[in-house]
A and B are shown apart, each in its own frame.
Chain A
């Protein structure tokens, strides 16, 4: 008999924790069906969810929208060509995950699909009209001090940068509330320093800074919604209001009349982050800014609806040089995360991407993809223009640079991590052989060494192997 001592490997599979930025689809997937059910009572959410669906799924929804009885699954499958069956099953899965449709039996015993009642009703309301108006659209007197789009853009940018500046610990700490700090801490973007209790930025925080503004806002709001439940704000109500904002028109004022107290509190928070503009707390009207409108565009590739003021400023050359036309310390600091800065002038910074500098960033948990995305997002209009004239590539950056950054990353990823269980100290070679035979037959075997009489099996196999071992030792 052998005693097989089992030592579990460390559960930390991923050595560098990367920042998770879920889009709406993933966020909703992680919620309960009941929560989704309440959400689908808001036409705005239905609209937003619809836009987030894969193309084929959108096609299914729009074709089922005006059908009252369940439709056989075989019929739905026949809408798609045979060669794209994989996309079709993916679309069906997405719709089921978000409980946009449910299985419903058809008289005759065939399985069928039927759109969720509330989703169907409210999507129709959003598309065709009917139902109650959204909460913020009561009529208003024309605003004597109406604000134009340029003003709102500037305001939104200033407010949001305030949050970002606070994160990088710039001296400027005014204009950020305890609530915002709490969210940053909750999100793990900042932590309390062990010694003096001041908030300092974490690795995740730096990754956060590299995201596009729209993604930053969305991530931030996700964490806000998490904490909102603790503050007796209903997450569903907040989410619905956010999407209402995202479907509003820029440069137009909306009324706060008829909004509940909770929502007014929420509005004040949004005002702080620059998602809405209000002249006075009691003004009775507010203007949504571009930040709020951008919430729905998280998934889209290029920075959407970006204000003219915040156009790109980075030029990347094939010789790995990076020129950034900027004055703000925040942007310089971000660039410094993965480039080696060589010159600094009043309005331009010159850096170079080197193996060391990029590897330092990778060690800090920043991924190559994030670096590339950041450079792409903020690339200078000149670079975008040269792309359309020349060869079409998937990125506006020089392909050599993109490839090299990716190579530098893959250079580090020479290990693949698999969770497993070690079995060793077998008493005899025969016992070792039996177990190895069994494991390799069932496909559990990850690694083995004949000389050390050690086996590494997959985690899931543990119970099965234990049972097998009991049976084996009893019989012998």
Chain B
């Protein structure tokens, strides 16, 4: 399908925007969200501006659910030009803002905001890409990528979901780019590395649009020609399945390859029973030959 070397006819970009209200930059100053959102919309429009056949989808990711912000399901909004902006861009902007308001309003009031459902949103994005590929006219070379813009920290709670999504994306030749607004995200960075995307932690939120346009706008095959921030060392620690903690050394089930930080007699994933061997027998050291 997508080929990294050949320029594609059409490029599909799915942007996942984390709108979770408990992100640090939002709790500190809620107005910053508007700025970031404007930057993301301008970036989305610049993607559409590249080629007439480029496609776009935006997914809003909240703590209770993820939803398409653009394109809106059903009939598109009837938008007339109000200023010199290209009509399509106005439509994108209006739709995203309107649907985001709906999404935020629909959040349950009594619950404390939990973790953003990023893995779920990515799975939605992959479904969207798969659908677009199916519907694309034969002979059209479509390249697709996912961009995640988030300020939340990644916890290992969704570790398995993340890994499933990453490897599916790799298989589908979908690039995953991550733009972190706040903290270093080691899990998502793994995803970028696996799928061949780029990872960037934005040093300051003021220049967000410039960073987006610089690093994430060029397509995969264009990136080879450009000098872009390099991929640093990637932290490939896995999270254990029992306490979701990142490990360097742990126990692995020999049947299903689940990772545990402590030894357990029954694997919680595949229910394999392991014999309790007691403490590992200490091999008597071979006596060194005396000279």
Contacts and interface: CB of A to CB of B under 8 A. Distances in A.
Q: Are A and B interaction partners?
A: yes
Interface of A: 43-44, 47, 50-51, 55-56, 58-59, 62-63, 65-66, 78-81, 84, 87-88, 122, 125-134, 137, 139, 247-249, 296-297, 300-302, 304-305, 381, 384-385, 387-388, 396
B9 interface: yes
A58 B214 CA distance: 11
B279 interface: no
Contact of B42 (A63, A128, A137, A297): A128
B135 interface: no
B232 interface: no
Interface in B174-208: none
B85 A59 contact: no
B76 to A, nearest CB: 9
Interface string B166-180: 000000000000000
A292 to B, nearest CB: 13
14 contacts: A44-B86, A55-B218, A80-B225, A122-B84, A125-B84, A127-B46, A128-B89, A132-B83, A133-B84, A248-B87, A300-B53, A305-B53, A381-B138, A384-B138
Contacts of A128: 42, 45, 85, 89
A62 B46 contact: yes
Interface residues of B, number: 38
Interface in B91-115: 93
B83 A388 contact: no
A133 B83 contact: yes
B213 interface: yes
Interface of B: 7, 9, 42, 45-46, 49-53, 80-90, 93, 137-140, 209-210, 213-214, 217-219, 222, 224-227
Contact of B226 (A47, A81, A130): A81
Contacts of A81: 224-227
Contact of B52 (A62, A125, A297): A297
B139 A126 contact: no
B227 A79 contact: yes
B50 A58 contact: yes
Contacts of B224: 81, 84
Contact of B86 (A63, A247, A381, A388): A247
Most chain B CB within 10 A, of A43, A79, A137, A396, is at A137
B49 A127 contact: yes
A129 B85 contact: yes
Contacts of B90: 129
Given A58-B50, A297-B52, A302-B9, A130 B85 contact: yes
B70 to A, nearest CB: 15
Contacts of A56: 222, 225-226
Contacts of B85: 125-130
Given A248-B87, A302-B9, A137 B80 contact: yes
A62 B214 CA distance: 8
A256 to B, nearest CB: 15
B52 A129 contact: no
Given A131-B83, A384-B138, A59 B218 contact: yes
Given A131-B83, A249-B88, A51 B218 contact: no
Contacts of A127: 42, 45-46, 49, 85-86, 89
A316 to B, nearest CB: 15
A111 to B, nearest CB: 20
Chain A interface mostly helix, strand, loop or mixed?
helix
B84 A132 contact: yes
A253 to B, nearest CB: 11
Contacts of A300: 9, 51-53
A130 B83 contact: yes
A125 B209 CA distance: 16
Contacts of B49: 47, 50-51, 126-127
A59 B214 CA distance: 8
A387 B52 contact: no
A80 B88 contact: no
A301 B9 contact: yes
Contacts of A297: 52-53
Contacts of A55: 7, 218-219, 222, 225
A466 to B, nearest CB: 47
A295 to B, nearest CB: 10
Contacts of B86: 43-44, 47, 126-127, 247
A381 B136 CA distance: 13
Given A62-B217, A81-B224, A125-B83, 19 more contacts: A51-B49, A51-B50, A55-B7, A55-B222, A55-B225, A56-B222, A63-B210, A78-B227, A80-B226, A126-B84, A127-B45, A127-B85, A134-B84, A249-B88, A300-B52, A300-B53, A304-B53, A381-B138, A384-B139
A169 B210 CA distance: 57
Contacts of A43: 84, 86
Instruction: Please list the 4 inter-chain residue pairs (A to B) with the smallest Cβ-Cβ separation, ordered nearest first.
Output: A131-B84, A137-B81, A129-B85, A125-B84
A302 B51 CA distance: 14
A55 B213 CA distance: 13
A125 B89 CA distance: 11
Indicate the member of B51, B93, B213 with the most A CB atoms within 10 Å.
B51
Nearest to B38: A128
Nearest to A255: B80
B138 A133 contact: no
Contacts of B9: 300-302
A63 B83 contact: no
A301 B137 CA distance: 14
Nearest to B87: A249
A291 to B, nearest CB: 14
B226 A126 contact: no
Contacts of B53: 297, 300, 304-305
Contacts of B219: 55
Given A51-B49, A81-B227, A84-B225, A133 B81 contact: yes
